[in-house]
Structure 1
């Protein structure tokens, strides 16, 4: 290599590389600490000044690589990591158990099917079966959606024990996504009560005009509620008795798979 060639080789940004290394180590520490990933414990494990830890956390939180658990205040790995690692890492136990069910529901209904799990105060789609129809709900794996305006969110909240549900409700921002969205705690609590009584949730154009969704809470192998499955249908394509057929399909196939 000549002197001129050496001049053209970009010099490494030492500060930038160090920041990346610190950020990656912080992600590792959050994963290692789990429910104990508080700011105090993260700082102690990293051995960095608190301002540095705060700066790294704020940057990663803005990019959705980490999120703060609204229930306990600890930090958790964010939904952006989920999106990036979806294709390269093994699917979670719930995804593996639910995948065949999603396909079966999609085949029987001909509509888009989602599996959503909670991330912070949102639900995130972690798996999806696309409808073959030209007109269908626009969504993607890794997409965050509100709890209060979606069938996956309401089905999940309704299936929780009262104490945990109230912790979530205290943290939710009930913003109107459409003019049909529940925007008060009283209205949302009433909707969740109805959801528990009938065993399924409905999002009737509350999150996207023209789209109606039916949600069913699903449980992990240990019996705890872990997320929800939904079927999304353009409103114009749903016949008067179509909702009953879809609901029976969801419940029957989820029951057969041991998800409810």
Structure 2
């Protein structure tokens, strides 16, 4: 990031350190402002030149440190911050709260289980229990995944109130990831209605060929909607008895 025209010339090393300091201060300001973290509000709080703030916002967004909330357009901390911070999560975090649930589902089914939360217009895995089988889903903690093509994303969307769900749908980019991905709003709305009725979501090879996923929404200790848990099964071993075992585990082990 270059210095502003109105700033005096300084050695590159000093300019670089100053840019890092500004970027870190911007990251601190976003959670301080909360739902009011618009670009204008951030610039006013930092008392920096507008071009500087916009360059910082663009750079941090490109690197995944910040994202825009689809419900209001304000900035929120991004998936890269989550990845860096996940090992220091407190005992009261979702990860700590639902780790035993993920382990219990994994033990009951032998399949890969994920815990995902919304970040901007996608979900992010914040915990994972691996399948005991050698063939398993390629994924990692901190991985961003679309909402419209995954069971954890669709489970979360379906559990939102109507108004909040529509706000998300208006912002989502319904990209085709496989030939089975739902890419129209009407089709996605129909799928979310079915999800609400049956109580769980299905990703039928919509995000990864050969992988079927089942997901249910989860709530934090205070009852607020927090994210979802999904289970991934390779299609070749998803026989009727396995499917029923997976669904039973989701309902029995997720509160």
TM-score bracket relative to the smaller structure = over 0.9
- Name the SS for the 2:71 alignment partner: coil
The CA distance in 2 between the partners of 1:185 and 1:61, in whole Å, is 26
TM-score by length of 2: 0.93
CA displacement at 1:118 relative to structure 2:
0.5
Quote the residue 1:258 is aligned against. Answer: none
Quote the residue 1:204 is aligned against. Answer: 204
The number of residues matched between the two structures is 245
Q: Deviations over 1:74-130 (max 9, x none)?
A: 110000110111123436622221111001001111010000110011010011101
The CA distance in 1 between the partners of 2:191 and 2:25, in whole Å, is 43
The CA distance in 2 between the partners of 1:91 and 1:227, in whole Å, is 18
TM-score by length of 1: 0.91
Any residues of structure 2 matched to 1:44-193 within 5 Å, and which?
Answer: 44-90=44-90, 93-193=93-193
The CA distance in 2 between the partners of 1:106 and 1:190, in whole Å, is 30
Runs ≥4 in structure 1, deviation > 2 angstroms?
88-93
The CA distance in 2 between the partners of 1:224 and 1:67, in whole Å, is 22
Between Structure 1 and Structure 2, whose CA radius of gyration is higher?
A: 1
- Name the SS for the 2:88 alignment partner: coil
Quote the residue 2:43 is aligned against. Answer: 43
The CA distance in 2 between the partners of 1:12 and 1:184, in whole Å, is 49
Q: Deviations over 1:20-48 (max 9, x none)?
A: 00000100111211111111211111110
- Name the SS for the 2:254 alignment partner: helix
Q: Deviations over 1:133-168 (max 9, x none)?
A: 110000000101010000000000001000000000
Q: Deviations over 1:164-221 (max 9, x none)?
A: 0000000111111100010101110100000000000000101000000000111112
The CA distance in 2 between the partners of 1:163 and 1:224, in whole Å, is 16
In structure 1, stretches of 5+ residues that fail to align are 1-10, 256-260
In structure 2, stretches of 5+ residues that fail to align are 1-10
